Chain A
Amino acid sequence: MGLEEKLPEGIITTQLEALVNWSRENSTWPLLFGLACCAIEMIATGTARHDISRYGSELFRASPRQADLMIVSGRVSNKMAPVIKRLYDQMSDPKWVIAMGICASAGGPFNNYAIIQGVDKIIPVDVYVPGCPPRPEALLYALDKLRAKQAKDTFRTYAARQATPSSTQRGEIESLEALRQLQPA
């Protein structure tokens, strides 16, 4: 009402937030980064049958600076963990993480000396995908979930996230209460 009537055809009005979120949802570029079995299913998601480009995510970027989404596809070993943390820190904001498969989510069948029990011990995770490995459809569903999350993002929460460090450093958290206060409202 009001403004739309006075505008010529072909112009719509929207909120800036909705516009930004719409563009983020439809061009979430993942990091070209595979770890184990799930990486093979991730590649399968990228090929013709499952076609991840329907989601605008077919551009797997080799450089973390150009990537928006890290799909942790496989088990994370003690030797690899610092590398993953470094890669995550190198990605520019806004950035999201999908823990693909049970190993990345919680260690999976590898509850032993070598494997970190869930990548959320080193980086924050937005969507967890169950499966060993998850089917490509499951990964696409996770992207759907991520889009729903991206659609709810507002500038205020985004700014609050900027104010806190992108990752929590060891020693910065004294108690669980302090951790909760660090989180944006």
Chain B
Amino acid sequence: MLDVAPRVRQYEILPSLQPPGIPAVAPLPTGESEDTRRIAERFGDAVLAAGLHHGQQVVYIKPEQLVALAEFAKTDPHLRYETLIDVSAVDRSELPVSDHRFHTVYQLRSYSRKQHLMIVCPLDDGDEPTAPSLTGVYSGATWPEREVWDLMGIRFAGHPDPRRILMPENWPNHPLQKQVPLGGEEVPFTLTWEDPEFESLGKQILEAKSAPPKLPPGMSLEHMVINLGPHHPSTHGVLRLVVELDGETVVNVDADLGYLHSGFEKTGENKRYKDFVYYTDRMDYLTAMSNNLGYCLAVEKLLGVEIPPRAQALRVIMAELQRIASHLFWLSTHVLDVSGTGMSLLMYATRERERILDLFEMVCGARLTVGYMRIGGVSRDIPPAFLPHLEEFLKIMPEQIDDYERMLTHGPLWSERLIGIGKITREEALDMGLTGPMLRGSGVDWDLRRDAPYSGYENYDFKVPVANEGDCYARYLVRMEEMRQSLRIIRQAVDNLPDGPYRAEDRKITPPPRAELDISMEALIHHFKLMTEGFHVPPGMAYQGIESSKGELGFFIYSDGTARPYRLHVRGPSFNNLYAISKMSKGHMLSDVITNIGSIDIVLGEVDR
């Protein structure tokens, strides 16, 4: 007789898929580093906790001492944290805690010592908190703090300009607070006119009401105040600048952002970790690969997963190709705005850019919003035709860059309009928290790829171009040289492309190969779990910055142990760099404002997020 008793097979229980335990009340640091010890000694009881967390230096400080700590970190000769990179905040009201609902989080960087410091400041005042403003120490905190007020509802005492920055002035709530719903509409899937969904049809139409013009603070109507944007051919998207003019000389510039605010951070908090990768494509849509990379690295930091060498090399190739593509687009639009060579350079530069897009299409099927990287590696291996095409591209590209330079670098029109325009000194660049070519154009020798390497950048030999003049021309030269250096990196990566898997073989994070699904029940379960529930990320917080083509692109993730990020914050390089527009444009002519916008290289999708 046949044995028909059900066979019970013990499956391996996946620790990361178990229901999470108590969510992280506060991701507390352990151990200590030289810097945290020094801060703890100096501030004594005001430091609530200090140490290392996922390899990051973290200090919890009481709000009373926050400004003093920032000043100490900036001026102390042993610390020298010159720059405030980012300000964000966490609303902990959905965690099982009753005190300190809001935490503000600050990222500091020391360029001279190659250090990163995270400061967390628990705020006392319950639902309407106030934090001390750091604008007195780092002027680069001005916009990020306005953003935190706008989206999170935290006031900053002593802030010089406490207005909303992204949402419309009369917006009723602060959307990132946890009690505010994601919003949106239900999608009607029916198609008859009788459906209740259509009742509102035609009634949703907005009136194009003119808002009464509000004069930004610091401007006076004695001069002429004009409006540049949000629909303007030279603002690279939907940026609005209010410009105060004395004759044709710029007296004051105020940027009005948020015309492309898409709620990325709130959306990210409602998506599983793996699903947000595709959203990052649409943030800075000119550097989709870099955005993918930054987000994946931040999640991988929390997961502690090891990435195979081939995946790392592929990521480097793609990120550098994307940098070239982004710089090409910057160049073509900048030239279109500035030099009057008409469309020719736009046509030339996009010709080469199309080649890069073809390469992307080969590996992932998309030109712009690639979604190529995955948490744990990349989505698929490169096809056989990829490398020959890449070789061809590497062969022609240096000549093309020389060609562009021949058209521009010594051209009288180009240099006339760029040299001496939009000057930023080294100190100002550090103070304002500028990154990327904006920083290197002002004489700060800093590149995250070299100084805080990720994805195996330490294995490549490349130079970091730096110019000291700090004007638009210096930034132009820096970016042109960066393209050449990117080609060098790709060359080395292609020559030493390792064999092996293209994603981590960790079945808790990456799905099993298709062939395995037919023969292995375990693979099927892994696959099902991954596709339905996603993976859980251990509680903690991580900040990961990468060198995108525009500067430091940072992702701050606060995980409570579930399959979705509890708090997801993006530090967009364009956002912080655009803060410089006012300082760069004052005293110059109106047409130089356009040069400056081009020189900052903004993408509004990332400024507004």
One of A33, A115, A132 near B262 (C-beta < 8 A): A115
Interface contact B202-A77, CB-CB below 8 Å: no
Interface contact A44-B279, CB-CB below 8 Å: no
Q: What are 7 pairs between A and B in contact, CB < 8 Å?
A: A37-B368, A64-B231, A82-B207, A83-B259, A109-B278, A133-B285, A168-B202
Chain B residues with CB under 8 A of A168: 202, 205
Interface contact A34-B368, CB-CB below 8 Å: no
How far is A74 from B237 in the complex, measured between Cα atoms in Å?
10
How many pairs of residues, A versus B, come closer than 8 Å at their CB atoms? 153
How far is A111 from B242 in the complex, measured between Cα atoms in Å?
31
Closest 3 CB pairs of A and B: A113-B183, A111-B184, A37-B285
One of A64, A112, A170, A173 near B182 (C-beta < 8 A): A112
Check A6 for interface membership: any CB of B closer than 8 A.
no
Q: What are the interface flags for B173-211 relative to A under an 8 Å C-beta threshold, 1 for contact and 0 otherwise?
A: 001000011111101000001000011011111111101
Known: A85-B207, A109-B282, A112-B184. 7 other contacts (CB 8 A): A75-B260, A107-B185, A110-B263, A111-B184, A121-B204, A168-B202, A168-B205
* A interface residue count range (under 10 / 10 to 19 / 20 to 34 / 35 or more): 35 or more
Assess A173 versus B202: contact at CB under 8 Å? Given A44-B354, A113-B266, A133-B369: yes
Chain A's closest residue to B282 (CB) is: A37
Q: Spell out B's residues near A (CB within 8 Å).
A: 167-168, 175, 180-185, 187, 193, 198-199, 201-209, 211, 230-233, 237-238, 258-263, 266-267, 278-279, 281-282, 285-286, 329, 346-347, 350-351, 354, 357, 367-369, 604-605, 608
Interface contact B233-A77, CB-CB below 8 Å: no
Chain A residues with CB under 8 A of B258: 77, 79
Interface contact B279-A34, CB-CB below 8 Å: no
How far is A170 from B205 in the complex, measured between Cα atoms in Å?
6
Check A49 for interface membership: any CB of B closer than 8 A.
yes
One of A79, A85, A113 near B208 (C-beta < 8 A): A85
How far is A87 from B232 in the complex, measured between Cα atoms in Å?
12
Check A127 for interface membership: any CB of B closer than 8 A.
no
Assess A135 versus B367: contact at CB under 8 Å? Given A77-B258, A176-B201: yes
Q: Spell out A's residues near B (CB within 8 Å).
A: 32-37, 39-41, 43-44, 47-49, 62, 64, 74-75, 77-83, 85-87, 89, 106-107, 109-115, 117, 121-122, 132-133, 135, 167-170, 173, 176, 179
Interface contact A80-B185, CB-CB below 8 Å: no
Residue among A40, A167, A168 with max Cβ neighbours from chain B (10 Å): A40
Assess A80 versus B368: contact at CB under 8 Å? Given A47-B347, A49-B351: no
How far is A34 from B235 in the complex, measured between Cα atoms in Å?
10
Chain B residues with CB under 8 A of A170: 203, 205-207
Interface contact B183-A34, CB-CB below 8 Å: no
Chain B's closest residue to A76 (CB) is: B260
Interface contact B183-A74, CB-CB below 8 Å: no
Assess A82 versus B209: contact at CB under 8 Å? Given A74-B260, A114-B262: yes
How far is A176 from B200 in the complex, measured between Cα atoms in Å?
9
Chain B residues with CB under 8 A of A81: 206
User: Within the complex, what minimum Cβ distance (angstroms) separates B413 from chain A?
Assistant: 21
Chain B's closest residue to A81 (CB) is: B206
Residue among B199, B231, B346, B351 with max Cβ neighbours from chain A (10 Å): B231
How far is A80 from B258 in the complex, measured between Cα atoms in Å?
8
User: Within the complex, what minimum Cβ distance (angstroms) separates A177 from chain B?
Assistant: 10
Chain B residues with CB under 8 A of A41: 367-368
User: Within the complex, what minimum Cβ distance (angstroms) separates A34 from chain B?
Assistant: 6
Interface contact A32-B233, CB-CB below 8 Å: yes
Residue among B238, B263, B604 with max Cβ neighbours from chain A (10 Å): B238
Interface contact A111-B368, CB-CB below 8 Å: no
How far is A151 from B295 in the complex, measured between Cα atoms in Å?
48
